[in-house]
A and B are shown apart, each in its own frame.
Chain A
Amino acid sequence: MTVMPRKPKHLGPEYQGCVDSMGTHDKLRVAILGSGNIGTDLLVKTLRSPFLACTLFAGRNLASPGMAKASSLGVRVSDLGITAIIREPECCDLVFDATSAADHIHHWAVLEKLGKTVVDMTPSQVGEMCIPALNLEDCLNYRNVNMVTCGGQASVPLAYFIGQVHPEVEYIEVVSSIASRSAGPATRINIDEYIETTEKALRVFAKAERAKSILILNPAQPCIDMQTTVFAKVKHLDLERLRPLVEKMVRRIQAYVPGYQLAVAPILENGRAVITVKVQGRGDYLPRYAGNLDIINCAAIAMAEAYARARIPVLKDPQYGGSPHD
């Protein structure tokens, strides 16, 4: 069942963009798959973006809180999941997949044929790993980008500089603590994939021989803010060079994740390099403690906006087989 919003948007094959409230601006049309915490928070952020318009919010249960939120915001909703896009492929240019790692594999098989650009929020390891502070431009060349994990978004840019400053990184470790209430069912069922995906990103971006990732769900009430620590074992830790680079990177991330803060500047403790950051969310869908949702979603929005600004050249690139909009 697809439910039209109170103010139906005119959708059709001829429709190539969306007119915002000022009636002047072409926006990239975005569908969100998955109506859980991630999908719903993404929706709120998409609606705020000057470059993006949400033309479909698709999940499996119209009675879910996310669906109710989307309906209240006047967004078109469907409980048919991916089928809603199969039935009406022209409804969107880009799809945020906020379902689960296992579902994403099936979704990508469908969306690739439909010529969609996909920003994958799950730890599926299918698409190109995207950390906007590091490789946003490169990612424009890919039709499926993977937003790694919340802990990956918080830590990989810092780990990257550890890898840049030191010729050999023997070992990198990242520990993220998040509030229990901020982790929905898909996050929980995917905890092993979270670990594996974060570790892969650390090995790749920090050029580390070995990497380990740990995720802690903290039951405390009131909820704790997201906290992420990067540990490293390197020969001859160069704090003098590392500190300004880390501070610069923190400012760069703050440009798209306003609540990202350095809590412990790089130090050497007990033979370990240590950097700690805290992430507070903007409080869009879940409260501010859910910095984990905020950081991965802010990163995804930054990526989608980059596609929008580049007018998704990949869709016109013949090597990808074109798109229904060509």
Chain B
Amino acid sequence: MTSVLISDPTLRDGNHAVQHQLDARQIALYAAAAEAARIPIVEVGHGNGLGASSLQVGESLLGDREMLETARKRLVNSKLGVHAMPGFATINRDLKQAVAVGVDVFRVGVHCTEADIAQRHIGYLRDKGREVYGVLMMSHMASKEVLAEEALKMESYGAEGVVLMDSAGAYLPCDVTEKIRELVKSLSIAVGFHAHNNLGMAVANSLAAVQAGATIVDGTARGFGAGSGNAPVEVIVAVLEKMAFSTGVDLYGVLDASDIAEKGLMRVIPSITSVSVVSGLAGVFSGFAKHVERISGEYGVDARDVFFELGRRNVVAGQEDLIIEVAIELAAGKRGGGCI
């Protein structure tokens, strides 16, 4: 029976869904539930990871240290994970602190063609004896060959696995199969997949990834995550068990954890809104959703037009400032909307 490593960023990606306002009680609540469910990795933090609390992306209610310390106390068998993006997180300010707090698993994320900016961060964390994965974000923007080349760089820096993120929820299962298969063929380390559900493909894409040889899959409680959310971890666990993959996660435990998260963490359960369909079609980072909705309202423009225009400009995570400029231009009638 092939085993699949489940990594659960409910307390990190989910923070996007509540403008990074998860509080200590909520973090403790879900971390304890995930521990009880024997979920292997529990990722915690601001939506964009370490050092990302900002006016650009949104300020988190709690600092990184407090979020991580809160979760650390509840996790014994489950590992504490973080997402860290060079460009936001630095070694001196952010990684050192996370190492000191006792984070077990670091996922160093870069946009899909930028592996080399993670070289020093991955090296530092391996030197500190931590478990380190490389993450290629917005991976729909690069071909399978380019992704394999970037993933190989991460392997050479010391990453123990490489995770492809469908940050925009733009993939169809055939895209996942093609890209994951290429990575599995090229790398000697584990390959993983992180889905978003803009086009309703999160579970199907995660399955396609596993069938193509991925051995790490991300899922969040009820899909709690940016935009229309991620692959629901309780569904992923159930479906993988049905397909005879082993996850080591307790089914009742993960179902309970999802119920707890729904009641305790969410204002609304993530769903595929009209705007998030457009976001997925346009290939725009799912974390933009709340900003686009707010700013479109302020400037009296159609959020769907804003997403299509952002897609035309090929924005990536961390370019939220462009939303204002696009909304102002649309309001001034400089651009039409409506096509891909």
The residues of A with any CB-CB pair to B shorter than 8 Å are: 171, 173, 175, 177, 180, 185, 188-189, 191-192, 195-196, 212, 214-220, 224, 227, 229, 231, 233, 263-264, 267, 269-270, 272, 274, 276
Q: Can you list 15 residue pairs at the A/B interface with Cβ under 8 Å?
A: A173-B56, A175-B56, A175-B321, A177-B316, A177-B322, A191-B86, A191-B87, A192-B92, A214-B54, A215-B87, A224-B314, A229-B321, A270-B295, A276-B321, A276-B325
A219 touches B138 (CB 8 A): yes
A272 touches B55 (CB 8 A): yes
B316 touches A219 (CB 8 A): yes
Interface locus among B113-121, B220-228, B235-243, B265-273? B113-121
Please report the C-alpha to C-alpha distance between residue A173 and residue B88 in the assembled complex, in whole angstroms. Answer: 12
B residues within 8 A CB of A272? 55
Give residues 71-121 of B contacting A (CB, 8 Å).
86-88, 90-92, 110-114, 116-117, 119-120
Known A-B contacts A195-B90, A219-B142, A227-B322; the reply to A189 vs B120 at CB < 8 A is yes
Please report the C-alpha to C-alpha distance between residue A235 and residue B321 in the assembled complex, in whole angstroms. Answer: 21
What's the A-B contact tally at a CB cutoff of 8 Å?
A: 101
B116 touches A218 (CB 8 A): no
Q: A196-B90, A217-B110, A220-B313 are in contact. List 9 more A-B contacts (CB 8 A).
A: A185-B116, A191-B86, A216-B319, A217-B111, A219-B112, A219-B114, A227-B321, A231-B54, A270-B295
B313 touches A269 (CB 8 A): no
Give residues 270-322 of B contacting A (CB, 8 Å).
294-295, 298, 313-319, 321-322
Q: Shortest distance in angstroms between A84's beta carbon and chain B's nearest beta carbon?
A: 28
A217 touches B142 (CB 8 A): no
A residues within 8 A CB of B142? 219
A residues within 8 A CB of B119? 188-189
Task: For B91, give its contact among A185, A192, A274 (CB under 8 Å).
Answer: A192
B86 touches A177 (CB 8 A): no
B contact residues, total (Cβ < 8 Å): 36
B141 near A: Cβ within 8 Å? yes
B324 near A: Cβ within 8 Å? yes
A residues within 8 A CB of B325? 263-264, 276
A residues within 8 A CB of B295? 269-270
* Smallest CB-CB A-B distances: 4 pairs: A220-B314, A229-B321, A219-B113, A231-B55
- A interface majority secondary structure: strand
B residues within 8 A CB of A267? 324
A218 touches B319 (CB 8 A): yes
A214 touches B116 (CB 8 A): no
Known A-B contacts A191-B87, A214-B318; the reply to A220 vs B141 at CB < 8 A is yes
A residues within 8 A CB of B54? 173, 175, 212, 214, 231
Q: Shortest distance in angstroms between A124's beta carbon and chain B's nearest beta carbon?
A: 15
Q: Shortest distance in angstroms between A123's beta carbon and chain B's nearest beta carbon?
A: 12
A residues within 8 A CB of B24? none
Q: Shortest distance in angstroms between A269's beta carbon and chain B's nearest beta carbon?
A: 6
Q: Shortest distance in angstroms between A271's beta carbon and chain B's nearest beta carbon?
A: 9
Known A-B contacts A173-B56, A175-B56, A218-B319; the reply to A224 vs B313 at CB < 8 A is yes
A192 touches B324 (CB 8 A): no
Q: Shortest distance in angstroms between B91's beta carbon and chain A's nearest beta carbon?
A: 6
- Of all chain B residues, the one with the shortest Cβ separation from A269 is B324
Please report the C-alpha to C-alpha distance between residue A220 and residue B91 in the assembled complex, in whole angstroms. Answer: 27
Task: For B114, give its contact among A171, A177, A192, A217 (CB under 8 Å).
Answer: A217
Please report the C-alpha to C-alpha distance between residue A87 and residue B91 in the assembled complex, in whole angstroms. Answer: 38
Please report the C-alpha to C-alpha distance between residue A224 and residue B314 in the assembled complex, in whole angstroms. Answer: 8
Task: For A218, give its contact among B91, B92, B294, B315 (CB under 8 Å).
Answer: B315
A216 touches B141 (CB 8 A): no
Please report the C-alpha to C-alpha distance between residue A192 and residue B314 in the assembled complex, in whole angstroms. Answer: 25
A residues within 8 A CB of B114? 180, 188, 217, 219
A218 touches B90 (CB 8 A): no
- Of all chain A residues, the one with the shortest Cβ separation from B313 is A224
A218 touches B316 (CB 8 A): yes
Q: Shortest distance in angstroms between B95's beta carbon and chain A's nearest beta carbon?
A: 9
A residues within 8 A CB of B91? 192
B residues within 8 A CB of A212? 54
- Of all chain B residues, the one with the shortest Cβ separation from A175 is B56
